[in-house]
Homo-oligomer: A and B are copies of this chain.
Amino acid sequence: MKKDEIRKKILESLNWRYATKIFDSERKISEDDMNVILESARLSPSSIGMEMWKFIVVNNKDTRVKLREAGYNQSQITDASHLIVITYRTDSVDNLTKERIERTAKVLKDGQGNLEGLKSMLENSITQKLADGTLDTWIKSQAYIPLGIMLETAAMLDIDTCPMEGFNSEKVDDILNLKEKNLKSITMLTLGYRGADKTIDYPKVRRDFDDVIEFI
C-alpha cells in the first residue's frame, strides 16, 4: 500500500466517523471485520503492559434488551450489529503483576529481559499508585486506549461506531455478572452501520487545529 493512500484513508476515515445515533438493525458486521476490531483491542498497549481490561462482546438479544434499560433506553445498545462492553480489572493489586510476569516468562527467550527487575518495577508501580490514590484513575484511563484504537480500526473498515458512557454501570455489572469476574464496566462501544439518522449530515464539530495543538 502506498504511503499517500494510507495517509488519505486515515484522514477520510476519521472525518467520516461520527457518533452514530441510529443504526441499521438489519446490517451485520462480518466475522472477518469483527476479528480485526477485537484483535486491535487485544494488541493495544497499556501502561507497563498490564492489560488491565477485558472486552465483553454481548451477542445475546435478551441481555442486550436488559442493557438498553440500564443505558437510558438508547437504541444503539440493541440495534447496532455488535456491542462491546469495555471493562477494567478490580483485582489489580492481587493479580495483575503476577499475570504479567507469567505471560512475559512464557514468551521471552534466553537472555531477553530481566524478569526480577520487571517484577519489582511493576510491584513498586502498583504500590506507589495505591499509596498516592491514583491507582483507580490509572486503571480506568488505560481502557480508553483500546477504545480509541477500536474506533479508528472500525472507521478504516467503513464501520460505524458510537462509544457510550451514559449508562448505569452498577446495573450493567449486575446484568453481566461482572463482580464475580473481578471486573467493572467503564464504557460501551456499539458498532454497525448507520441507519436513518438525521445527524449524519450535521457538520463535524471540532476545535481548530491551532486551538488544540501548540508547537513549542
Q: Are B36 and A151 touching (Cβ within 8 A)?
A: no
Q: Are A39 and B136 touching (Cβ within 8 A)?
A: no
Asked if A174 is at the interface (CB within 8 A of a chain B CB), the reply is no
Q: Are B157 and A148 touching (Cβ within 8 A)?
A: no
Asked if A123 is at the interface (CB within 8 A of a chain B CB), the reply is no
Q: Are B107 and A63 touching (Cβ within 8 A)?
A: no
Chain A interfacial positions (CB closer than 8 Å to B): 1, 3-7, 9-11, 14-15, 17, 19, 32-33, 36, 38-45, 47, 49, 51, 53-60, 63, 99-100, 103-104, 107-109, 112-113, 136-137, 140-149, 151-153, 156-158, 163, 165, 176, 199, 201-207, 209, 212-216
A116 to B56, CA, bound (A): 36
Q: Are B10 and A36 touching (Cβ within 8 A)?
A: yes
A156 to B7, CA, bound (A): 9
Instruction: Give A100's nearest chain B residue, CB to CB.
Output: B205
9 A-B contacts (beta carbon < 8 Å): A14-B39, A14-B40, A14-B44, A57-B213, A59-B215, A100-B205, A136-B137, A144-B145, A176-B216
Instruction: With a 10 A CB-CB cut-off, give which of A32, A107, A141 has the most chain B CB atoms.
Output: A141
